């Protein structure tokens, strides 16, 4: 199963097995990763699932939809060049080994 490493704001790391087809937000909240809030449940209305994707993986991530594009402007941390909303990052085999930094703050 593909693995994803989440880097917490305190620099601690959590590695999760994430099934293909599952969003990073769902995987993180299911495993109690506190930095991923996911208030809207993946409906693209909260921007509390903000992560920064390690640059080498950016080409393998799905394209940013117009709705995600809009919501990235409402992140509490502020948008970075490698910002994504983790509810929109659905796991694929190509993303095995993905590393994301959890945005701080989320709210």
Q: How far is the CB of 44 from ligand FES (least distance, A)?
A: 5
- In sequence order, the β-bridge partners of residue 51 are 84, 102
Residue number, 56 or 65, with CB nearest to ligand FES: 65
CA–CA dist 4, 91 (Å, integer): 9
Q: How far is the CB of 72 from ligand FES (least distance, A)?
A: 9
Residue number, 39 or 56, with CB nearest to ligand FES: 39
79 alpha-carbon distance from chain centroid: 13
Q: Which of 27, 28, 33, 85 binds ligand FES (CB under 6 A)?
A: 85
Residue number, 2 or 42, with CB nearest to ligand FES: 42
Largest Cα–Cα distance in the chain?
32
Q: How far is the CB of 24 from ligand FES (least distance, A)?
A: 10
Q: Which residues contact 106 (CB under 8 A, 6 or more apart)?
A: 35, 36, 37, 48, 49, 50, 75, 76, 77
Residues 20-79 that bind ligand FES (CB under 6 A): 25, 38-40, 42-49, 71
Residue 69 CB: number of other CB atoms within 10 A?
Answer: 12
State the residues that interact with ligand FES by CB under 6 A.
25, 38-40, 42-49, 71, 85, 87
């Amino acid at each position: 199963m593909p693995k994803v490493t989440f880097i917490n704001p305190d620099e601690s790391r959590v590695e999760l097995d994430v099934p293909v087809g599952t969003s990073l937000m769902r995987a993180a909240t299911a495993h109690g990763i506190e930095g991923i809030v996911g208030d809207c449940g993946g409906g693209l209305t909260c921007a509390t699932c903000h992560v920064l994707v390690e640059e080498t993986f950016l080409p393998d991530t799905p394209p940013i939809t117009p709705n995600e594009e809009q919501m990235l402007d409402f992140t509490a941390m502020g948008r970075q060049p490698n910002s994504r909303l983790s509810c929109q990052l659905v796991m694929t085999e190509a993303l095995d080994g993905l590393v994301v930094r959890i945005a701080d703050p989320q709210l």
